[in-house]
A and B are shown apart, each in its own frame.
Chain A
Amino acid sequence: AQTVTQSQPEMSVQEAETVTLSCTYDTSESDYYLFWYKQPPSRQMILVIRQEAYKQQNATENRFSVNFQKAAKSFSLKISDSQLGDAAMYFCAYRSAGTGGFKTIFGAGTRLFVKA
């Protein structure tokens, strides 16, 4: 079974600085999708960024980018020019691209604090 591990329960960053959130996963599959979801205090979960495993190029979305290391099974999220609105819980997630259903597996989350 696949697992997702986020080893940082909490992180803190100064406004305008850069922070990296770590995520590792375990799978025997070669084709899959990886995601970062954000959960602000409102509790609403929203997608930050996604990566297809067959793509070598790291995904970017404005100030958010990932460092995808397939061999190491690592998928970190970098937030540049951090803003107060980035303060939230961040979840790393894995989804198989195979025929085993559409289940998405989540890590335990990293709570990000942004200091003004």
Chain B
Amino acid sequence: IAGITQAPTSQILAAGRRMTLRCTQDMRHNAMYWYRQDLGLGLRLIHYSNTAGTTGKGEVPDGYSVSRANTDDFPLTLASAVPSQTSVYFCASSSGTGLSGANVLTFGAGSRLTVL
């Protein structure tokens, strides 16, 4: 089934540890995104990538890094996790062309991360 796969589904992490959230899509979408969802704040963009080999900062990039070595994979790394990074993380993609239908985001199922 075409879509986005995120791993892990859920993780409890000690503060100070390094963590990588994985995201893989099989739709050959150009653009990929990482959002965090927090109660009362909606979804906030962490980082994005318009195409393989490029990345950009979103609204809340501090403490996070991403890479886009190929079209399919877009991992999100927390170099040294802090409790304020406790959240649900969503990876998303869009085909990213100028066509209106291409602006729709396809989401993964989310990764719940708890930093203690």
Contact B48 A101 (CB under 8 A): yes
Contact A43 B88 (CB under 8 A): yes
Stretch binding the partner chain, chosen from B19-27, B35-43, B76-84? B35-43
Contact B41 A102 (CB under 8 A): no
Chain B residues touching A, range: 20 to 34
Contact B45 A47 (CB under 8 A): no
- In the docked arrangement, what's the CA distance between A13 and B31, Å? 37
Contact A33 B105 (CB under 8 A): no
Cross-chain pair count, CB within 8 angstroms: 61
Contact A44 B45 (CB under 8 A): no
Does A35 reach chain B (CB closer than 8 Å)? yes
- Expressed in whole angstroms, the minimum distance between the Cβ of B18 and any Cβ of chain A is 25
Selected contact of B45 from candidates A37, A103, A108, CB within 8 Å: A103
Does A15 reach chain B (CB closer than 8 Å)? no
Contact A33 B42 (CB under 8 A): no
A interface size (C-beta, 8 A): 26
Q: Which residue of A lies closest to B98 (CB)?
A: A97
Selected contact of B103 from candidates A6, A9, A33, CB within 8 Å: A33
Binary B-proximity of A92-107 (CB < 8 A = 1, otherwise 0): 0101010001111111
Does B50 reach chain A (CB closer than 8 Å)? yes
Given the known interface contacts A102-B96, A103-B58, the answer about A91 and B43 at a Cβ–Cβ threshold of 8 Å is yes
Q: Which of B50, B88, B100, B105 has the most CB of A within 10 A?
A: B105
Residue positions of B touching A, CB distance < 8 A: 31, 33, 35, 40-45, 48, 50, 56, 58-59, 88, 90, 92, 94, 96, 100, 103-105, 107, 109-110
